[in-house]
Structure 1
Amino acid sequence: MPPRVANEALAAACDLMLAIDSGGVIRDIRLGADDLAGLGIETWLGRPFGETVGAESRGKAEELLAGTSDPGRWRQVNHPIAGGEVPIRYLMLDGTGDERLAIGRDMRAAAALQQRLLRAQQAMERDSLRLRQLEARYRLLFESASEAILVVDTASRRITDANPAARRLAGGGGLDGQPFVTIVHADDRDAATALLGAVAAAEQRHPGRIRLADGEAALMSATLFRQDRAAQLLVRLRPLAAEIEGPRDRPLSEVLERMPDAFVLTDRDLAVLACNAAFLDLVAEARDADVTGAPLPRWLGRPGIDVGLLEAQLREHGAVSNFSTIVRPRHGADLDVEVSAVKSADADGIRHGFTIRPVQPLAARGAGIAQPRSVEQLTELVGRVSLKEIVRESTDLIERLCIEAALAYTDDNRASAAEILGLSRQSLYSKLHRHGLGNLGDGE
């Protein structure tokens, strides 16, 4: 077969054929696929083959030209074009004389398929991670639930899973694989089986009363769900003893939690043991863990004065009513409050309970304004705090009232207010900050 005919046959059988001379320069280009037309491949004519490939493919191109690759081995290189790259696999053949023929196959379809497979794999990995996270959350809820919960197979009526509360209710033994009726009293097994059958048949059933194997009465309810193409029953058991005795024996903390006034329980050293939500709001803390174990004087009373008086009253009388003091929240201005407290001694030691009630609306805290004591409040401090402290309170009251009057007289012009008060602007700003007056973030 003449060489020209052979070359044309090769060009027709492949997507691309390049004739490359001994210097690595492309001398002829034949396209066997219309998809490659219009990509600028004809501009490669007269250029070195190594210059038509991307930087990461230069090594492969040199191996192809040098003939160091295994005979018959295809090598893929990427050719940069406008808007992207064209991946082509080449097989190098000997031509006539010093000429070599590079037979190429367009790999864009295969590359697109690989990208689709990669995206599909990544999507599956994301879905798998999401499902694992959901399973972990479900398992955490299932294991930590205080209510006895069992998963029962509808066909065999055997227990496939049970949480710790269910195992405790059944005496602590293993339940997986056991017939559900084994945890039910012999006289009530028919009723329990009937309830499960009714729920499995998609009938609406109210919780039924049964006796457990040890004779303890319980409320039983079930919900139908599907898992792994099989129907399962989620069975809940609630001992009737807990239903009956719960309201009578409910811990006092549940009632105190609903109180509108702040309540806090401390040990003999005034370290916080427990508190309600109102106390957290009052001291501007987010969680119980932020206050538990911390000293109550961190928030209550003027340092070194009020708490000492409170402790003395509790030691002497065992209780204190309507004690006027302040709360120093984590954020915001101090707040005037009234405190009632009681001391309790039991086997666990001495404890103190405090109820704290603001004597001004909580909305005043949001405005960042701490109201000064009135003259009557100041005189009530006689005998409870030192004269030095009363004088300091009086000075603060007069200073604040004068600053407020100056700001009102000058229509909140701080420069003019400082002038009529005989203060520098810097000194006025310092006092405004100390008393929590004005919006210091605003300009004049």
Structure 2
Amino acid sequence: MTSRGTKYWNSGAVPLIAPEMLGEIIATASDLAIVISLEGRILSVLVNAGHRAHGQLDHWEGCDIRDVLTEDSQPKLEAKLRLFAEGGDSARPVELNHTDGKSWDFPVRYSFHRIGPNGGVLLMMGRDLRPIAEMQMQLIEAQMALERDYETQREYDTRYRVLSEATRDAFVFVGTRSGRVIDANPAACTLLGVARADLIGSAFSQEFDGRRRAEFVETLNLRAMDNAAEPIEAEARRSRTPVRIVATAFRAAGEPLILCRLDAAETQGAGTGEMAETLRAFFEEGVDAIVFTEPDGTILTANESFLGLADAPQVASVKGRSLGDYLVRGSVDLRVLVENATRSGQMRMFATKLAGEYGAQISVEISATYLSDRVHPCIVFVIRDASRLEGVRKPGVAVSDDAMRSVMELVGSATLKDIVAETTDVVEKMCIETAVELTRNNRVAAAEMLGLSRQSLYVKLRKYGLLSRDGGHD
């Protein structure tokens, strides 16, 4: 029995081993084996043939082992050598980091063994720790990735909760198979007259009168799969509020769900219904042309008066087309109308010309109103025929009394030619300022509106000191 508690081999149980075979055994039993003197000089280096990650280390032989260790590993080696020099012994392994004078290093865990006749030589048998270090690094990276995913999930969950609390739209998430409520926002709870804690987990069908669970779930699934389906009409059992349910199917984390948007059905009284009929009659039979468009100017519908101005045979021929197709200046006028209506909500009395299907042009005045408080915002254009007014209007630009007095004051102090030139400059500057303002400082659109080239417009802008305005774009 040794001092470490290890049993000796029985005498004669182990045969004599040749040096070359002993070296092979040692190299195989460890990833890296180093034989050193008590002073730290490397006598031999044995590398496991099946572990060539270290490369060839024969050039270490004859060197001081401290030269191939990092600075933080050298004190550990010194302590071991000092212990063995004083006659002590230690079975505790030591982790040392090797470096070869390059930008890379590798950790090895060594066990120290006395060898030789007098124990003056040490055998260091090492295990490469890089696979463990790489595994630890992968675990750390995986943990960091999980932390990032967790933070991202928390961020999305917070956004969803804030949106759910802040929106005025009522919505409920329902399981496709079970028909039970997965989640609901406060607006939906208020509309249904039930607390959120009582609603979540319960059957959605029980919140409405006369609805059987199986039939209701089947109806929800069918309506959710058909984008053109009509909303489901129902009455909330607790609040007695008529509601319309718009179902949308989707899948989250592999589970099919239905998003049910709830809209309170407006109870139309006699006065409300009569007003709706009156407005519809005004739209269909009104003298002025009325056009409903998307926010980008695509026509949704138009009345008979507009069809008459545009020489269009029926509503289907104009529906889906851009309103700019019927304006002489096309997208220039449409952009001015849409941008101003969207920005301020309204635009009044915009003078332009309408071009019919066969090229006929007619002077019109257009007013636009942006309806933003709808599920699908739209712009309403009221177009009035102004061709009859052109005959009774006086030619030229109307001048205010103050401007007229200013011009009259020039009589006697300037020639008629100078007075006319100055008045022309004033009117020209007013027209350019108006065009730039209507197009929101879009110089290309303003030039098209005024019938000028871009170069001519820039010359006049520079002439009247309007070129330095901020925000101008081509």
> What's the TM-score, normalizing by structure 2?
0.49
**Corresponding position of 1:209:** 233
Rate the CA distance shift 1:62–1:224 in 2: closer, same or farther, 3 A. farther
**Corresponding position of 2:111:** 91
1:37-56: CA deviation from partner (whole Å, max 9, x where unpaired): 87452222222222211233
**Corresponding position of 1:232:** 257
- Amino acid in structure 1 at the alignment position of 2:158: A
Count matched residues: 282
CA distance in 2, matches of 1:176, 1:107: 53
Q: Secondary structure at the match of 1:241?
A: coil
1:258 aligns with 2:345: yes
1:79-116: CA deviation from partner (whole Å, max 9, x where unpaired): 34545223322111122221111112233333333344
CA distance in 2, matches of 1:120, 1:126: 10
**Corresponding position of 2:202:** 178
Once the two structures are TM-superposed, the CA of residue 168 in structure 1 deviates from its matched residue by: 0.7
1:59 aligns with 2:83: no
**Corresponding position of 2:95:** 75
- Amino acid in structure 2 at the alignment position of 1:84: W
**Corresponding position of 1:102:** 124
Q: 164, 176, 190: which one pairs with 2:186?
A: 164
| Contact 2:31–2:127 (8 Å) recurs in 1 | yes
CA distance in 2, matches of 1:233, 1:10: 68
| Contact 1:188–1:210 (8 Å) recurs in 2 | no
| Contact 1:14–1:33 (8 Å) recurs in 2 | no
Q: 65, 89, 98: which one pairs with 1:49?
A: 65
Rate the CA distance shift 1:125–1:189 in 2: closer, same or farther, 3 A. closer
**Corresponding position of 1:333:** none
Q: Secondary structure at the match of 2:258?
A: strand
**Corresponding position of 2:152:** 130
* Contiguous gaps of at least 5 residues in structure 1: 249-253, 262-277, 279-321, 325-357, 369-403, 409-434, 440-444
**Corresponding position of 2:45:** 29
- Amino acid in structure 2 at the alignment position of 1:98: G
| Contact 2:95–2:107 (8 Å) recurs in 1 | no
**Corresponding position of 2:220:** 196
Rate the CA distance shift 1:107–1:49 in 2: closer, same or farther, 3 A. same
- Amino acid in structure 2 at the alignment position of 1:232: L
CA distance in 1, matches of 2:54, 2:214: 80
Rate the CA distance shift 1:11–1:150 in 2: closer, same or farther, 3 A. same
| Contact 2:182–2:200 (8 Å) recurs in 1 | yes
- Amino acid in structure 1 at the alignment position of 2:235: R
* Contiguous gaps of at least 5 residues in structure 2: 1-15, 277-340, 349-369, 371-399, 403-432, 444-458, 470-474
> What's the TM-score, normalizing by structure 1?
0.52
- Amino acid in structure 2 at the alignment position of 1:206: E
Seq. identity, % = 25
1:361 aligns with 2:430: no
Once the two structures are TM-superposed, the CA of residue 32 in structure 1 deviates from its matched residue by: 2.2
| Contact 1:74–1:91 (8 Å) recurs in 2 | yes
Rate the CA distance shift 1:436–1:238 in 2: closer, same or farther, 3 A. closer
Once the two structures are TM-superposed, the CA of residue 170 in structure 1 deviates from its matched residue by: 1.7
Once the two structures are TM-superposed, the CA of residue 34 in structure 1 deviates from its matched residue by: 5.5
Rate the CA distance shift 1:31–1:206 in 2: closer, same or farther, 3 A. same
Once the two structures are TM-superposed, the CA of residue 25 in structure 1 deviates from its matched residue by: 1.6
| Contact 2:110–2:127 (8 Å) recurs in 1 | yes
| Contact 2:32–2:45 (8 Å) recurs in 1 | yes
Once the two structures are TM-superposed, the CA of residue 165 in structure 1 deviates from its matched residue by: 0.3
Rate the CA distance shift 1:88–1:190 in 2: closer, same or farther, 3 A. closer
Rate the CA distance shift 1:208–1:91 in 2: closer, same or farther, 3 A. same
1:145-164: CA deviation from partner (whole Å, max 9, x where unpaired): 21111112233322121101
Matches within 5 A, 1:280-319: none
| Contact 1:40–1:81 (8 Å) recurs in 2 | no
The Cα RMSD (Å) is: 4.5
Q: Secondary structure at the match of 2:72?
A: helix
Q: Secondary structure at the match of 2:62?
A: coil
- Amino acid in structure 1 at the alignment position of 2:39: G
Q: Secondary structure at the match of 2:202?
A: coil
Rate the CA distance shift 1:138–1:104 in 2: closer, same or farther, 3 A. same
Q: Secondary structure at the match of 1:234?
A: strand
1:144-196: CA deviation from partner (whole Å, max 9, x where unpaired): 22111111223332212110101111224231122212321236878644422
**Corresponding position of 1:121:** 143
Q: Secondary structure at the match of 1:55?
A: coil
| Contact 1:188–1:211 (8 Å) recurs in 2 | no
CA distance in 2, matches of 1:187, 1:27: 91
